Structure 1
């Protein structure tokens, strides 16, 4: 499952807010801005707000999400962003909205005034239903339901496709070779534009200094030019990076061309390509290519995957902000190449990811999203999700624990699989094996519930004071991982008021690392700690031991 938490910006949001997200996009020159749409079709933005790209009506940064009321209830179908940044957004109803940087009229409203709030782009688009948008650094493209392409904004290299190099202040239909064609997909590099037709032909226009148009030379094209090298192939998808391009055919073949400074073409070298080159051919993956670092597959299994029949590619990924490329195969393998956290990966490298989006979250610079990310899932749940969902479920449980007069519903098989203590308990010579309800009196309800929930989820969510009780349980049941989790929670939640209680518990449960941590905290805050109730309630022996140990550390020197 895609996790927006892999993008640092989204760690600012609480779990409840994240759970409401249906679509999201992280953008900006340093990945410092984000937009997301909730299940209720409310649009929120937060971040640095460079060039008013959040559309909040002001130029203020905000770490607290702000709602764009102008877009309430409008389902978003396509979103793209430029380098200014400016933002384009298309709704299900075919409306086009724009905001942000407008120094080159890339918002399409005929001016160069900054767009502090979303504006409806309508000039020359009346009765046109917009289905897809794409942004270059400072120019914009929109695709209509009828397969027409409109372009506007910065045009120094012909990226608007008008036949000239004057900036285009409002949307203008891209004609010439596309006049009677039906376009089904668009993409932008920094200063170039691409279109794929319904018959699988590909056209490019704009800057071509690195060969990113794939037309066989490096001269700029002021109007759309067909990629003759792809003749006879039916292209389904195109993607453009900063100065390189990718194409995916209906046979699952991948072609790349353009800039290759970081190996973003995946050809095994760093030479630019003026025409499309077939990459990810089986022989290229088999010759000397080793499994990716971090791959969970065994060496044998990976090499078998390398040499078997070609696993066709079903998705390609790139965006104009980065020099990174990625793809996904039919069997779910995700490869990446190009710039990877400052390093150059010149051949497609197998990752342990399950989606191309994660490549950009973890490896790209900046770590933006290459598309509007959808969090909508089908009804299929993974094993982990299913277990989490069924914890404390009376409908499916076959066993109850009674703690402090409250029931916790569980599944005997899950407990046996996850915990050695229960595996021993549920054997025929234990009386508990025959019971439908097991009474627990040595631990509190929050502690025991948290323990059982940990067996279903691998997570613990308790305040440090309750984590002490869970630490006791983890010690009793020999659950070492849970013990470490509890210690982490306690370290994170230590305060002057609870420090001595936590130190006492660490000593009692023989948690040496935690004991050392709490002891140092107490010494560092000695005056305040000695004035707390917890300090004065401690038994004499431990108090003497603490004073002796603190004195050895020089705590009482004048």
Structure 2
């Protein structure tokens, strides 16, 4: 073979794709790769993977329905997913449609991505997905919400669900920097550093000093500090000040607040154990929390039954524990699902750990991991050469013929005792029973 031919072969090899964004839901995961490639994997029972069916995927699988859509943002709800295009004017949603969480004006499940028509004339800056509701911030500083609203988590002054995006009037004229959504509560940070909470407040997760619900956003006092970012766990809230200090409040039964105890906190309380670190990113899971420092160190705490803290065992932690990675790789991005996590490193590798029962870890298996394990298909150092599975969407509308929400209908305040024995319904019961304590 001539030298020129060899050089042509070498230069024709496509460079490895970089993972730009990751997001984790209740039992599924998504990633945005360079070259405008979107992948999803894990539980697909409600169509949340977007592949046109309800099957699980154990490996990252290309979501071909979004090819060529210039996606720049991805967010997982518990059992649904939302993607935004480059212009911010195209917002797609798919998955479980109960309570109107997909924003299409109905309660249908969608097995492939569909554009939300209400956003076609708007430019979207940020979207947050909770269990059954969503929030969006526009470039024009309007905040919209939709989905389930039984505790006022939409901030509209009512407890009626909203299957179409609605403006939160409290924020008219208030420049919002970011929003966050939990199971039944919401939070926001303004450009001026003010913090707001609303929705279900029974565990103090609104940070307002009591256990009352709020139907509209109410300002939170955070130790006199200006806040820079916020994240919600299922029933707790994590915020970071402009000085890099981290505060938590809400449900603390499993140590998810990081204060060295298992108590609820009704107002934001600084995590003293992380005072020496500047926190650059935070994420909340079902009963655990993660914090990333500006130096690339990752800390986790809270419920650890599935190994989601990532420290090599399954013991709960009430104080932050450092999560170690091979070769001391620095972390640049973290996302918490309900019981699993995904992290991206500075070296462009992707790791996951925690619950793996539905393949949400992306390792091609259905086992839990209590330390970070590389996702071969998405990592520069992966041994399989970044081979990403392909999956064509079903060539129909993407709507299920029978509403999955009818199949799994659960009375929200009914005790779940004995019902979670069905492994196929465990996650949905967790989402639908606010008063329960399902393990």
Q: TM-score range by the shorter chain?
A: 0.5 to 0.7
CA distance in 2, matches of 1:365, 1:61: 17
Answer yes or no: is 1:146 the counterpart of 2:140: yes
Task: Show the counterpart of 1:277.
Answer: 269
CA distance in 2, matches of 1:76, 1:185: 19
CA contact (8 A) 2:334 2:344 kept: no
Report the CA distance shift for 1:375/1:271 in structure 2 as closer, same or farther (over 3 A): closer
2:99 alignment partner, SS class: coil
TM-score (norm 2): 0.68
CA contact (8 A) 1:21 1:36 kept: no
2:100 alignment partner, SS class: coil
CA distance in 1, matches of 2:151, 2:333: 30
Answer yes or no: is 1:346 the counterpart of 2:312: no
2:303 alignment partner, SS class: strand
Task: Show the counterpart of 1:186.
Answer: 179
User: Which runs of 5 or more structure 1 residues have no equivalent in the other structure?
Assistant: 1-15, 286-309, 379-457, 462-558
Task: Show the counterpart of 1:157.
Answer: 151
Task: Show the counterpart of 1:480.
Answer: none
1:103 Cα offset (Å): 1.0
1:137 Cα offset (Å): 0.8
CA distance in 1, matches of 2:163, 2:222: 33
Task: Find 1:317's aligned residue among 272, 279, 282.
Answer: 282
Query: What are the residue-to-residue correspondences of 1:310-389 with 2, within 5 Å?
Result: 311-319=276-284, 321-340=285-304, 341=307, 342-353=314-325, 354-355=330-331, 366-369=339-342
1:145 Cα offset (Å): 1.4
Report the CA distance shift for 1:349/1:374 in structure 2 as closer, same or farther (over 3 A): closer
CA contact (8 A) 2:51 2:65 kept: no
CA distance in 2, matches of 1:225, 1:158: 12
Task: Find 1:27's aligned residue among 17, 24, 28.
Answer: 24
Answer yes or no: is 1:243 the counterpart of 2:235: yes
1:148 Cα offset (Å): 1.7
1:328 Cα offset (Å): 2.9
Task: Find 2:204's aligned residue among 207, 211, 236.
Answer: 211
1:52 alignment partner, SS class: coil
1:65 Cα offset (Å): 5.6
Q: As a proportion of its length, which structure holds more strand? A: 2
Task: Find 1:225's aligned residue among 218, 225, 232.
Answer: 218
Report the CA distance shift for 1:459/1:97 in structure 2 as closer, same or farther (over 3 A): closer
CA distance in 1, matches of 2:295, 2:243: 15
CA distance in 2, matches of 1:75, 1:104: 28
1:232 Cα offset (Å): 3.4
CA contact (8 A) 2:153 2:185 kept: yes
CA RMSD of aligned residues (A): 3.0
CA contact (8 A) 1:327 1:356 kept: no
Task: Show the counterpart of 2:429.
Answer: none
CA contact (8 A) 2:20 2:31 kept: yes
Report the CA distance shift for 1:17/1:204 in structure 2 as closer, same or farther (over 3 A): farther
Task: Show the counterpart of 1:385.
Answer: none
CA distance in 1, matches of 2:147, 2:15: 35
Query: What are the residue-to-residue correspondences of 1:277-296 with 2, within 5 Å?
Result: 277-280=269-272, 284=273
1:203 alignment partner, SS class: strand
CA contact (8 A) 1:147 1:181 kept: yes
1:63 Cα offset (Å): 4.7
CA distance in 2, matches of 1:367, 1:264: 14
Query: What are the superposed Cα offsets for residues 49-92 of structure 1, whole Å, 9 maximum, x if unpaired?
Result: 12011112233344576543442233333222222x01111122
Report the CA distance shift for 1:82/1:459 in structure 2 as closer, same or farther (over 3 A): closer
1:230 alignment partner, SS class: coil
Query: What are the residue-to-residue correspondences of 1:513-552 with 2, within 5 Å?
Result: none
Query: What are the superposed Cα offsets for residues 434-463 of structure 1, whole Å, 9 maximum, x if unpaired?
Result: xxxxxxxxxxxxxxxxxxxxxxxx9999xx
Task: Show the counterpart of 2:247.
Answer: 255
Report the CA distance shift for 1:56/1:225 in structure 2 as closer, same or farther (over 3 A): same
Question: Which has the bigger relative contact order, CA under 8 A and spacing at least 6?
Answer: 2
- Larger-Rg structure: 1
CA contact (8 A) 1:313 1:327 kept: no
Report the CA distance shift for 1:67/1:348 in structure 2 as closer, same or farther (over 3 A): closer
Query: What are the superposed Cα offsets for residues 360-403 of structure 1, whole Å, 9 maximum, x if unpaired?
Result: 5xxx862144xxx667879xxxxxxxxxxxxxxxxxxxxxxxxx
Task: Find 2:82's aligned residue among 72, 84, 88.
Answer: 88
CA distance in 2, matches of 1:61, 1:351: 28
1:162 Cα offset (Å): 0.9
1:175 Cα offset (Å): 1.4
1:359 Cα offset (Å): 9.0
